[in-house]
């Protein structure tokens, strides 16, 4: 059986921490999409680690970790990440597997990302500039290079052909990027990549499924950044919803079990694009400061606002979420009142449905107000101990979304998680 864990908002919901916690109950953790645009934070023996391409089960001795075929891999970023991990746990490589169908991010993909963003000016996506969009464009354009290609004697010729195409494209942009300086590291990292355990992942997973192994598919980004259903064009270039698991790992839908959907107790977004419940005021700044809302990869300030139940109901629906997990509830300890967006006013009408285009639609959120609480959730050892107002807040969210909350996270530590009976 394959359970799924994914973000329900615009990313950074705390997926890394939760996967690290749940990993004790799984044999395999598999990333199914995204790439080094992700930054999943875990604390291992009190030390902060940010994972980008590597699944968040890597610190558990019993867990195998797969970088699935739906992921785009920057060999240089991956090597750097592995070296950082090996310094903490020398044996991590034994537990790491890479799908041979996963596509590669080339230096010129990063250059194209930068050039494309610069050309967009004020309308830029706010990309992490890791080359994600251009790499997925080459995948769907049927020009991409895959991990399996590095084992072929024609790899350099294939590389040169693609780079020639990219050079022509870069010429169209009036934006200079010295990507040639990155090539030496790229080829060194490709050699390193060859030394990893490269597998035919769909058969590899099938074998483990037949042996009754439990698999957790780890999502990156968030559902509102999904290429099809997110706030297009301000999205990433992959399917971040549960549907992405089947094509991202090569597994049939009949294998999918529980779908864990993670939401913060409030909402954040990094990069450009619509965010109806955003707070451009002192409360938003306070959420950022208390919640330490700065990008794990880029260090950029995250935009902050109240939880948006309209958007959440949409993303719960898209992925068929069976269990909700609410993170960063402790951050709300410092706020009174606490608001939850329950509807949108669009053209003078109230709606619970996400409009087709959030960019050009004038949306005024409708809020329900909750009183703050005086007992800190951060110090509660179990859900029973949490203040009644918080319990009411959780109940309201559950009823609105039609899905039960399984866990409330009340701090950064692996064990700071309150199970709801
Ligand atoms: P991810 O991309 O979904 O894995 O999330 P990030 O790691 O980018 O961002 C989540 C941030 O919130 C990290 O710094 C976590 O350490 C932190 N975090 C996770 N859960 C909690 C929580 O319950 N409370 C607090 N205060 N911080 C949390
Ligand atoms: P995790 O897995 C938050 C955002 C970027 C930008 C848009 C497109 O840590 O939750 P891209 O680099 O994919 O071309 O950027 O998506 N973005 C993320 N925001 N968390 C992430 O990952 C993100 N990955 C991409 O900020 O707005
Ligand atoms: Mg993150």
Section 157-170 average pLDDT: 97
State which of 17, 48, 223 you would mutate to test the pocket of ligand 1, scoring each by most atoms of that ligand within 8 A of its C-beta: 17
Q: What is the arithmetic mean of pLDDT over 276-294?
A: 97
C-beta of residue 57 within 8 angstroms of C-beta of residue 49: no
pLDDT over threshold 90, residue 286: yes
* Of residues 37, 20, 28, 413, the one with CA closest to residue 222: 37
328 lines ligand 2 (CB under 6 A): no
How many residues are present in the chain? 421
Distance CA 304, CA 36 (A): 23
pLDDT digits (tens, 9 = 90+) for 1-50: 999 999 999 999 999 999 999 999 999 999 999 999 999 999 988 899 99
Residues 6+ apart with CB under 8 A from 65: 28, 29, 30, 54, 55, 57, 58, 95, 96, 97
Ligand with the closest atom to the CA of 417: 1
DSSP string, 367-378: EEEE---SS-GG
In angstroms, rounded to a whole number, what is the distance separating the alpha carbons of residues 391 and 385?
Answer: 10
- For position 174, what pLDDT does the model report? 82
Q: Is 40 a catalytic residue?
A: yes
* pLDDT tier at 298, thresholds 50, 70, 90: confident
**Is 258 a catalytic site residue?**
no
Q: Is the pLDDT of residue 265 over 90?
A: yes
Mean pLDDT of 63-87: 97
Domains of the chain: 263-419 (3.90.170.10)
Examine the pLDDT at 173 and tell me if it is beyond 90: yes
**Residue 86: closest CA among 63, 58, 56:** 58
How far CA 114 is from CA of 108, 146, 194, 296, 390, in Å, comes to 10, 22, 28, 20, 44
pLDDT at residue 175, rounded to an integer: 85
Average pLDDT, the chain: 96
Q: Ligand 1 atom closest to Cα of 40?
A: 4
Atom 13 (ligand 2): residue with closest C-alpha?
236
**Residue of 3, 20, 40, 138 with catalytic role:** 40
Nearest residue CA, atom 26 of ligand 2? 271
Q: How far is the CA of 37 from the centre of ligand 2 (A)?
A: 6
Count the neighbouring beta carbons within 10 Å of the beta carbon of residue 310: 21
Place of tokens 């109230």: 350
In which element (H, E) is residue 299 found? none
Residue-wise pLDDT tens digits, 366-404: 999 999 999 999 999 999 999 999 999 999 999 999 999
Question: Model pTM greater than 0.85?
Answer: yes
Q: What is the mean pLDDT of residues 275-296?
A: 96
> Average pLDDT of 165-183?
93
Taking the centre of ligand 1 as the mean of its atom positions, its distance from the CA of residue 370, in whole angstroms, is: 23
CA-CA distance, 238 to 74, in Å (whole number)? 16
Dist. CA 180 → ligand 2 center (Å): 26
Q: State both tokens at 158.
A: 């294939």
pLDDT tier for residue 360 given thresholds of 50, 70 and 90: confident
**Buried b / exposed e across 275-304, counting CB within 10 Å, b at 16+?**
bbbbbeeebbeebbebbebebbbbeeebbb
**For the chain, how big is the Rg over CA atoms in Å?**
21
Distances (CA, A) of 314 to 11, 318, 361: 15, 6, 17
Helices (H) and strands (E) in the chain, counts: 11, 20
Contact at 8 Å (CB) between 335 and 324?
no
pLDDT given for residue 137 in this prediction: 98
Average pLDDT over residues 200-216: 98
Sign, CA dihedral 6-11-13-15, equals positive
Q: Answer positive or negative: Cα dihedral of 185, 202, 49, 9.
A: positive
């Amino acid at each position: 059986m394959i359970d799924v864990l994914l973000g329900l908002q615009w990313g950074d919901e705390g997926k890394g921490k939760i996967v690290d916690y749940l990993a004790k109950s799984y044999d395999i953790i598999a990333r199914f999409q995204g790439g080094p645009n992700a930054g999943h934070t875990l604390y291992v023996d009190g030390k902060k680690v940010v994972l980008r391409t590597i699944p968040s089960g890597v610190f558990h001795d019993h867990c195998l970790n797969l970088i699935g075929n739906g992921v785009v891999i920057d060999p240089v970023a991956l090597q750097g990440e592995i070296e950082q991990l090996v310094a903490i746990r020398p044996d991590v490589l034994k537990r790491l597997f890479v799908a041979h169908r996963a596509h590669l991010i080339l230096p010129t993909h990063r250059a194209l990302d930068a050039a494309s963003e610069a050309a967009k000016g004020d309308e830029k996506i706010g990309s992490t500039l890791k080359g994600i969009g251009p790499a997925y464009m080459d995948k769907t354009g049927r020009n991409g290079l895959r991990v399996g290609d590095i084992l072929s004697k024609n790899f350099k010729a294939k590389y040169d052909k693609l780079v020639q195409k990219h050079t022509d494209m870069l010429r169209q942009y009036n934006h200079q990027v010295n990507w040639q300086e990155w090539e030496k590291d790229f080829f060194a990292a490709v050699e390193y990549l060859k030394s990893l355990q490269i597998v035919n992942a769909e058969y590899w997973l099938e074998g483990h499924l037949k042996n009754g192994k439990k698999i957790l598919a780890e999502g990156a980004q968030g559902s509102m950044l999904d290429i099809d259903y997110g706030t297009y064009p301000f999205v990433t270039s992959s399917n971040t919803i549960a549907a992405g698991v089947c094509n991202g790992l090569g597994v049939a839908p009949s294998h999918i079990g529980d779908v864990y959907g993670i939401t913060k107790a409030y909402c954040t977004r990094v990069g450009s694009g619509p965010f109806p419940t955003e707070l451009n005021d002192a409360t938003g700044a306070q959420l950022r400061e208390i919640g330490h809302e700065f990008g794990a990869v880029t260090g950029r300030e995250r935009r902050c606002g109240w939880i948006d139940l309209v958007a959440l109901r949409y993303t719960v629906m898209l992925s068929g979420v069976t269990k909700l997990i609410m993170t960063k509830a402790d951050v709300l300890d410092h706020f009174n009142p606490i608001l939850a967006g329950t509807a949108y006013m669009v053209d003078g009408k109230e709606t619970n449905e996400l409009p087709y285009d959030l960019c050009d639609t004038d949306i005024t959120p409708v809020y329900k107000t909750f009183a703050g609480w005086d007992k800190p959730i951060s110090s509660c050892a179990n859900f029973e101990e949490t203040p009644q107002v918080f319990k009411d807040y959780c109940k309201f969210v559950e009823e609105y979304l039609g899905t039960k909350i399984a866990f409330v996270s009340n701090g950064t530590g692996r064990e700071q998680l309150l199970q709801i009976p």
